[in-house]
Amino acid sequence: MGKPTGFLEYTRKDDTCRPAYQRVKDWDEFHIALPDAVRAQQGARCMNCGVPFCQAGITYEGKTFGCPLHNLIPEWNDMIMSGNRSHALARLLKTNNFPEFTGRVCPAPCEDSCICGIYGNSITIRDNELCIIEDGFVSKHMNPKRPPQYSGKKVAVVGSGPAGLAVADQLNHRGHSVTVIEKEARAGGLLTYGIPNMKLPKDVIQRRIELMTDEGVSFVTGLNAAEPKTAQRLMREYDAVVLCCGAGKPRPLGLDTTGVPGICYGTEFLRAAVRRLLGEEDSPLTAAGLDVVIIGTGDTASDCVATSIRQGCKSVTQLVRRPKSDYANADGNLPTDYAHEEALAFFQSDPRRFGVQVKELLTDDHGLLTGVVTTGGDTLPCQLLIGATGFAGCEDDVCKAFGVEQNKTVITEKGHYRTNVENVFAAGDMRRGQSLVVWAIAEGRAAAAEVDQFLIGYTNLA
């Protein structure tokens, strides 16, 4: 512990942000890193607890506490305080393959488990993590590291989201020849097509893909493994196949939307926005000039609010099923995330309405959506209705192509990743169900260890 009284001497300081009204005019990342001296103080606040619950990653009574990756948080906080960034990077990469992703989009369950937060403010763990990895890239410590020798075994990873990338990264460093199959035009999966650029810049993802390529991982994009012939070829030509295709099947809205245009799901809306930004397509799906109503809460709903504002929507309303009291802090205040701050700055009002849902759709003589009637009895103007109500499980087509058993997700033996097909494994949201990026990485790492054991009879992967 570098400074025993650090948590008493220094107050918590988060990374600053560009003003909300300013940042909605572009798609650039809006967080601004703290100066090194201030960052060192944030590392010094870590108490180096005898039992560091921040890194425990345990499940108790159905709830998870701490970091699922078991990041060595007190250790690299101490290294930040002492200015030893290279050692901090080494400790961080020991447990987390992609800190540049989790440092931007993880909701930081580690901070909720921080002992310092019991009577004050928790440590800025996520910001510290992001500082370490970005400093690693800037200082050229993130150099390609190819395995010293190869095993002769070939692995196909289907899906290039966080779970798939983690599987590929781990198995590549173990000396297996890894090919990642992605149906989209770019690798990254949810990271690329499901998270807006202002939260996770696409050049950050591309930087990691290029590093993994330099280390020996092969990426094949634009290939749909759900095609039965493709699936059979992969199972025939590779010693193991790992399915990491996510849980993209949306939960139904519970409304009769037959023949009514202007209704989509959140991931569909965000994917179209990213593709337009990347110049891949000019989708007609946009919020520009429209009254937007978003059903649901959580990260996807917030991202849809922020994206709608940047596209130039006329208005945006977010309908939340549960009452306001369920979300209020102990002091009665309602927390706001980045999207709600932007709506307040741009429209001078919080976009959320609590305790209401859509009861009925209104259309004009041409069948076009014009508004929605809420369960509260009022009518909202609406030409674009976005459902961000979560996911019902993984898509069926890939499971059928590979012949793996599924319920809502792929069925594996409890605590394991092998499916009913001998050389086919599954990991991430496809096996676990809808979850966080940090959990997807943890799943990928654990699955990689099981695949490694399957391929060569033993493993030294954590």
Domain with residue 63: its CATH number is: 1.10.1060.10
Q: Could you tell me the CATH number of the domain that includes residue 275?
A: 3.50.50.60
In a shared domain, residues 442 and 379: no
In a shared domain, residues 405 and 374: no
In a shared domain, residues 304 and 375: yes
The backbone region for 249, taken as left when phi is positive above 0, alpha when psi lies in -120 to 50, beta otherwise, is beta
pLDDT for the residue numbered 329: 85
Asked if residues 402 and 411 have their Cβ atoms less than 8 Å apart, the reply is no
In a shared domain, residues 357 and 407: no
Asked if residues 79 and 87 have their Cβ atoms less than 8 Å apart, the reply is yes
Task: Confirm whether 147 is domain-assigned.
Answer: no
Residue 406 DSSP class: B
In a shared domain, residues 256 and 382: yes
Residue 38 CB neighbour total at 10 angstroms: 12
Which two structure tokens, joined as six digits, stand for 268?
């569909």
In a shared domain, residues 45 and 107: yes
Helix 202-214 / helix 266-278 crossing angle, nearest 10 deg: 80
Distance in angstroms (rounded) separating the CA atoms of residues 200 and 177: 29
Task: Confirm whether 462 is domain-assigned.
Answer: no
pLDDT for the residue numbered 207: 98
Distance in angstroms (rounded) separating the CA atoms of residues 355 and 281: 37
In a shared domain, residues 384 and 398: no
Domain count, the chain: 3
Task: Confirm whether 113 is domain-assigned.
Answer: yes
Task: Confirm whether 286 is domain-assigned.
Answer: yes
Distance in angstroms (rounded) separating the CA atoms of residues 130 and 111: 14
Question: Which of 83, 111, 138 finishes a domain?
Answer: 138
In a shared domain, residues 182 and 70: no
Task: Confirm whether 144 is domain-assigned.
Answer: no
Distance in angstroms (rounded) separating the CA atoms of residues 11 and 45: 8
What's the Cα-to-Cα distance from 342 to each of 24, 292, 350, rounded to whole Å?
Answer: 7, 15, 9
In a shared domain, residues 340 and 374: yes
pLDDT tens, per residue, the chain with 462 residues = 668 899 999 999 999 999 999 999 999 999 999 999 999 999 999 998 989 999 998 887 877 789 999 999 999 999 999 999 999 999 999 999 999 999 999 999 999 999 999 989 999 999 999 999 999 999 999 999 999 999 999 999 999 999 999 999 999 999 999 999 999 999 999 999 999 999 999 999 999 999 999 999 999 999 999 999 999 999 999 999 999 999 988 888 888 888 899 999 999 999 999 999 999 987 889 999 999 999 999 999 999 999 999 999 999 999 999 999 999 887 888 999 999 999 999 999 999 999 999 999 999 999 999 999 999 999 999 999 999 998 888 989 999 999 999 999 999 999 899 999 999 999 999 999 999 999 999 999 999 999 999 999 999 998
In a shared domain, residues 307 and 189: no
pLDDT for the residue numbered 2: 64
In a shared domain, residues 328 and 381: yes
Paired residues of 386 in beta bridges: 264, 294
For the whole model, what pTM was predicted?
A: 0.95
Question: Which of 371, 389, 407 finishes a domain?
Answer: 389
Helices (H) and strands (E) in the chain, counts: 18, 19
Task: Confirm whether 1 is domain-assigned.
Answer: no
Question: Which of 94, 113, 138 finishes a domain?
Answer: 138
Task: Confirm whether 438 is domain-assigned.
Answer: yes
In a shared domain, residues 353 and 373: yes
Helix, coil or strand: residue 395: coil
pLDDT for the residue numbered 331: 80
Task: Confirm whether 145 is domain-assigned.
Answer: no
pLDDT for the residue numbered 63: 77
What's the Cα-to-Cα distance from 122 to each of 53, 54, 126, rounded to whole Å?
Answer: 12, 10, 11
Domain of 188 in residue numbering reads as 154-248+392-456
